[in-house]
Chains A and B, each alone.
Chain A
């Protein structure tokens, strides 16, 4: 596709990509890095795209996966592991207050999920999209999206259990 189409793609989706990355990473610099990586990745494959691309779906998937890759790369997982000890020896009511810490743990757990489950969880619970839209974006049925979401929540809760009980 032409250079002007690429520009148009940036104009149209730049903000959505930045926002999704920001929600996952909670850091504006990292969100910008992901934004950069997503569009450069598209540019490097530009000649392969034809006129029939589901851009919102492609961009959501690429943004989520790039953001989670960056989590893995930046050893956030390792950081979260280190933070296991000081959190709480017994889960009391105050652990709910550690929102930022919990979000960091959730993202680290998300990065370990199968890609499809992570995509569905982010789209449904963090981006707040209905099953219909999630299915449309990911090119699957509504029921498949629902099953992936349930599995993702169960896996994440299991990870949280280990984390909170340590």
Chain B
């Protein structure tokens, strides 16, 4: 190969700036005396400059919004769940049909014949165990907040964006959430009363707990290699394999039965909150979840709105906690898990208060609204509670500080329930 041919071969690399200084110098020397190579280099540069100009283009916000809106409208009426593939149909048979549940062992043999190794507990991967969480049309499970297994249990039936929720320490109360329309229907099954509550954007992160799990799973799928396989252990008397992954703010651990490859326990750590999901049932036939007031119920027309939860609501809930639940002292700790435990205590104390019934309803609502505001920074924000043992009215003690989202300043709430900005160096440890 002569010099011209050699240099000609290097022109693209030269145009891309990928040559060593020595090679670049050789090319430049040749270009000065070879019009053909100079012309070809000009053509290569034209292509690159043209692409460079295109790279600076972007769609305006209106175009992006309109594109998204169009696809949402186009898919609104479409059914995403197609007839299940072989493994899914076997799965569904096991989960939904009594007869087949009893014959599960036989079906596992069929799965083996079909070559569905993961079903038999061969090399089970993270992708295998998360499938039911992502694919199921309905998921039924229990949620516990915090590390205390004796905490109240929230039982959830989820079908898309509709959730039916009950809580073990709030008897006779069923909550139906429609997260698409940001509404909740609360049903008192003993008094046969119903009420609608606006939940606004709080539904994004703090109401649909399984969606939070799905969100992390999707994140983990994109960052292959960031999922750690855990040592096999025993959970509730069952052998379990585990996978753990996440980001600096959130961690997710999925434990699954190696034989069925179905998740049996999921742990989600968000900021200071630890959420445990267990007793999963995938694709179980559940009673239809609807937002209409059931026959025989009376609709309470009180306007309840959780969508605008603010600092003042948190203050009000702390007042209720100290004044009504704890007789004048702030609690040892706060957080969703602690709020959940106290709801039942408050429920027992409220009927004894000498206030009109309408105020009693508002009291419970205000307590819950404070928790909703707390969740805005509890899930990954900066905050600290220091109210243990502090008496209500103590203006010298900061009982809680937090950093509102998007703010550079900190806010402090004092024992007399006044709130003010506070500098970082004055934050109590």
Contact A127 B55, beta carbon cutoff 8 Å: yes
Which interface residue of B44, B126, B130 has the most chain A CB atoms within 10 A? B44
Complex interface bits, B89-130 against A, C-beta within 8 A gives 1, otherwise 0 = 000000000000000000000000000000000000111101
Q: Which residues of B contact A150 (CB under 8 A)?
A: 12-13, 16
Residue of chain A at shortest CB distance from B66: A32
Q: How far is the CB of B53 from chain A (nearest CB, A)?
A: 6
A116 within 8 A of B: no
- State whether A55 and B15 are in contact (beta carbons under 8 Å apart), knowing that A126-B55, A128-B55 are contacts in the complex: no
Task: Using CB atoms, name the residue of chain A closest to B71.
Answer: A39
Q: In chain A, residues 13-42, which have Cβ atoms closer than 8 Å to a Cβ of chain B?
A: 14-15, 17-19, 21-24, 26, 28, 31-32, 35-36, 39-40
Q: Does A103 contact B (CB under 8 A)?
A: yes
- Compute how far the CA of A53 lies from the CA of B215 in the bound complex, rounded to whole angstroms: 14
Main secondary structure of the interface of A (DSSP, over half): helix
Complex contacts, B215 vs chain A, CB 8 Å: 8
Contact pick for B54, options A15, A51, A103, CB 8 Å: A103
Query: A19, A39, A54: which contacts B59 (Cβ < 8 A)?
Result: A19
A156 touches B81 (CB 8 A): no
Count of B residues near A, CB < 8 Å? 58
A164 touches B68 (CB 8 A): no
- Inter-chain contacts of A166 with B (CB < 8 A): none
Using an 8 Å CB-CB cutoff, how does the interface string of A31-69 with B read, 1 for contact, 0 for none? Answer: 110011001100100111011111110000000000000
B75, A4: Cβ atoms closer than 8 Å = no
Known: A3-B81, A35-B67, A51-B130. A56 touches B59 (CB 8 A): no
- CB pair A1 B134 closer than 8 Å: yes
Residues of A within 8 A of B54 (CB): 23-24, 26, 103, 106, 126
Partner of A46, one of B16, B51, B80, B160: B80
Give A residues with C-beta under 8 Å from B: 1-12, 14-15, 17-19, 21-24, 26, 28, 31-32, 35-36, 39-40, 43, 46-48, 50-56, 96, 99, 102-103, 106, 121, 125-128, 149-150, 153-154, 156-158, 160-161, 164
